[in-house]
């Protein structure tokens, strides 16, 4: 008991010492901009000093700080202006100290942004600034207007369905691109989803991880409200499907303007998920228990369902939402499959139509330029020229798509022209002056004979050649005699 009281007194003394360090009795302490550690007497830069250092090293690189637009646990974000071209950017400055430029380039966030760029729905890295004196790293990125949280905060009326559909389609495209590049985000939430007019871009890749890395991963990685069940119930055994769960929570929040699972702690987070989706089957819980040191038993709940929380939600949107919020990550929809969902059918058709028009105009321009540049080569390749002529004809457009569809046909079959009437067009390309013959080598085609030369009459040629052949045959018959064969015993 005495030892416990001594430990408690020592704990209070250390707490009072820390408070004394925070509030110095010297009136000019805060004006100096430095806080002195009482134990090791090493000066540590305060927040104001850090901002001054950031401002100084950005000014040296040609950037002026406009205002502060965000603050996180590991970084601060400010709006900057390039002094050379006058363009505005978002500058994210890391709070941790970096020793070298090589270490700065090897940061996980920097590597991810370089690998994922360029993409229409991924924040693009413009420049990396490293200050060797202070060890500060700043990432100059493109500037967006706001994030999804700021967009829906304080809004009273729900967003139009086409706006929600447009934003969710772009979010799924960003996740599909990330996952195809071997990266998953691990912190998808409204604060990290940036928008500018009708364009959505995913940002903040400081928590991303490779899909090929072996678990267990960090347990408390994503924000609690958007954390998938496998992140809550296992010791870090999760995969890229956790991003789909977080995107589903964002999907619900955009439509309803309220968070779906606002848990106050880990246990309350699981309880709120079960209140809506119900308690999962025991077989699924047993699969989660295999990678968890502690045991858990949840009370059976049926779940209210998502449709009661958003009664005006369209049926295709509700279908996609349930597939994104599947409790089992193996049954959860993938980002690539989500893009082909019925909910995005209109956007896909509009993209396909625009892509077809773009490719059609590019194909026609390419054919015209190739005919002009390679006209001499096409003279000696009639099959290739025939294809170009057919492609330039306005009524032969179905033939082009037909040939593309059957690319695997044999070469001879593809080179055969479809219409024999097009063959004379190939002869018209060859200039007549290039094929010249001397007059002396063509006496039989003189105009004076008019095609009535007796020397090439077929009857006289046959009569002159047939006479000696007939006489030789008659002489042979006269010289040799074939005796008749006698029959022996009824046979030959």
Catalytic status, residue 470: no
Active-site residue identified among 76, 131, 187, 204 = 187
Determine the pLDDT at residue 42. Answer: 40
Give whole-number Cα distances, 395 to 277, 390, 391, in Å: 57, 9, 9
Range list of H helices, 44-147? 47-60, 101-105, 108-116
Angle (nearest 5°) at CA 216 between 215 and 221: 110
Query: Which residues of the chain are in CATH 1.10.510.10 domains?
Result: 146-348
Name the nearest CA neighbour of 121 among 155, 95, 144.
Answer: 144
Q: How many CB atoms lie within 10 A of CB 53?
A: 17
How many Å apart are CA 387 and CA 349, to the nearest integer? 30
Rounded to the nearest 10 degrees, the angle between the axes of helix 315-324 and helix 161-180 is 30
The DSSP annotation for 333-350 comes to PPHHHHHTSGGGHHHHHH
Q: Is 162 helix (H, G, I), strand (E, B) or coil?
A: helix
pTM for this one? Answer: 0.65
What is the CATH number assigned to the segment(s) 146-348?
A: 1.10.510.10
How many Å apart are CA 392 and CA 112, to the nearest integer? 45
Please say whether the structural domain 53-142 has been given the CATH code 3.40.50.300.
no
**pLDDT in 10s for each residue of the chain, 492 residues:** 434 344 334 434 444 434 433 333 323 323 323 333 333 334 444 555 566 777 787 888 899 999 999 888 888 999 999 999 999 999 999 988 999 999 999 999 999 999 999 999 999 999 999 998 889 999 999 999 999 999 999 899 999 999 999 999 999 999 999 999 999 999 999 999 999 989 999 999 999 999 999 888 887 777 899 999 999 998 888 999 999 999 999 999 999 999 999 999 999 999 999 999 999 998 888 888 776 666 778 889 999 999 999 999 999 999 999 999 999 999 999 999 999 999 999 999 999 999 888 887 765 454 444 443 444 344 334 444 344 434 444 433 333 333 433 344 443 444 444 444 444 444 444 455 554 445 444 445 444 545 555 555 454 444 444 445 555 555 555 555 555 555 555 554
- DSSP character at residue 124: P
Give whole-number Cα distances, 331 to 323, 444, 473, in Å: 8, 86, 94
Give whole-number Cα distances, 485 to 34, 262, 481, in Å: 137, 118, 13
Determine the pLDDT at residue 37. Answer: 32
Determine the pLDDT at residue 430. Answer: 46
Annotated binding site for ATP: 92
Angle (nearest 5°) at CA 269 between 268 and 274: 95
Helix (H) or strand (E) run with residue 250 in it: helix 241-256
Any idea which residue has 């007019």 for tokens?
197
SS (H, E, C) 122-164: ECCEEEEEEECCCCEEEEEEECCCEEHHHHHCCCCCCCCHHHH
Query: Is residue 113 within 8 Å of residue 91, measured between CB atoms?
Result: no
Name the nearest CA neighbour of 93 among 82, 84, 104, 102.
Answer: 104
Any idea which residue has 């067009």 for tokens?
425
How many Å apart are CA 237 and CA 288, to the nearest integer? 9
Query: What dihedral do alpha carbons 340, 341, 344, 345 form, nearest 10°?
Result: 80
Query: Which residues of the chain are in CATH 3.30.200.20 domains?
Result: 53-142
């Amino acid at each position: 008991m005495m030892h416990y009281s001594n430990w408690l007194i020592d704990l209070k003394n250390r707490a009072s010492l820390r408070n004394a360090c925070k509030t110095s009795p010297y009136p000019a302490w805060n004006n100096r901009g430095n806080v002195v550690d009482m134990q090791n007497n090493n000066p540590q830069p305060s927040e104001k000093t850090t901002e001054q250092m950031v401002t100084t090293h950005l000014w040296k690189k040609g950037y002026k700080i406009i205002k502060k637009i965000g603050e996180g646990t590991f970084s601060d974000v400010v709006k900057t202006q390039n002094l050379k071209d006058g363009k505005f950017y978002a500058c994210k400055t890391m709070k941790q100290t970096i020793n070298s430029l090589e270490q700065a380039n090897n940061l996980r966030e920097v590597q991810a942004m370089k690998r994922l760029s360029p993409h229409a729905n991924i924040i693009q890295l413009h420049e990396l600034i490293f200050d060797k004196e202070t060890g500060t790293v700043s990432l100059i990125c493109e500037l967006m207007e706001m994030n999804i949280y700021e967009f829906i905060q304080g809004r009273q009326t729900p967003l139009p369905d086409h706006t929600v559909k447009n934003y969710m389609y772009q979010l799924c495209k960003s996740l599909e691109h990330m996952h195809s590049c071997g990266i998953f985000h691990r912190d998808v939430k409204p604060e990290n989803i940036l928008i500018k007019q009708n364009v959505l871009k995913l940002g903040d890749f400081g928590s991303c991880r490779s899909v090929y890395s072996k678990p267990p991963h960090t347990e408390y990685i994503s924000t609690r409200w958007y954390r998938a069940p496998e992140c809550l119930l296992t010791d870090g055994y999760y995969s890229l499907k956790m991003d789909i769960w977080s995107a589903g929570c964002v999907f619900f929040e955009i439509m309803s303007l309220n968070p779906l699972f606002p848990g106050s702690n880990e246990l309350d987070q699981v309880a709120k998920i079960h209140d809506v989706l119900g308690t999962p089957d025991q077989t699924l819980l047993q699969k989660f228990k295999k990678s968890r040191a502690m045991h858990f038993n949840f009370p059976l709940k049926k779940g209210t369902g998502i449709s009661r929380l958003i009664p005006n939600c369209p049926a295709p949107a509700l279908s996609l939402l349930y597939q994104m919020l599947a409790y089992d990550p193996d049954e959860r929809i993938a980002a690539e499959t989500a893009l082909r969902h019925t909910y995005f059918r209109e956007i896909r058709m509009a993209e396909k139509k625009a892509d077809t028009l773009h490719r059609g105009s590019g194909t026609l321009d390419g054919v015209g330029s190739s005919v002009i540049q390679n006209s001499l080569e096409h003279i000696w390749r009639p099959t290739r020229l025939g294809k170009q002529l057919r492609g330039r004809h306005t009524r032969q457009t179905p033939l082009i798509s037909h040939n593309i569809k059957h690319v695997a046909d044999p070469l001879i079959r593809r080179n055969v022209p479809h219409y024999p009437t097009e063959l004379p067009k190939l002869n018209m390309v060859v200039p007549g002056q290039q094929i010249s013959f001397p007059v002396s080598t063509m006496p039989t085609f003189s105009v004076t004979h008019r095609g009535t030369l007796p020397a090439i009459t077929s009857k006289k040629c046959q009569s002159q050649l047939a006479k000696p052949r007939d006489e030789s045959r008659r002489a042979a018959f006269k010289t040799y005699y074939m005796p008749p064969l006698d029959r022996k015993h009824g046979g030959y």
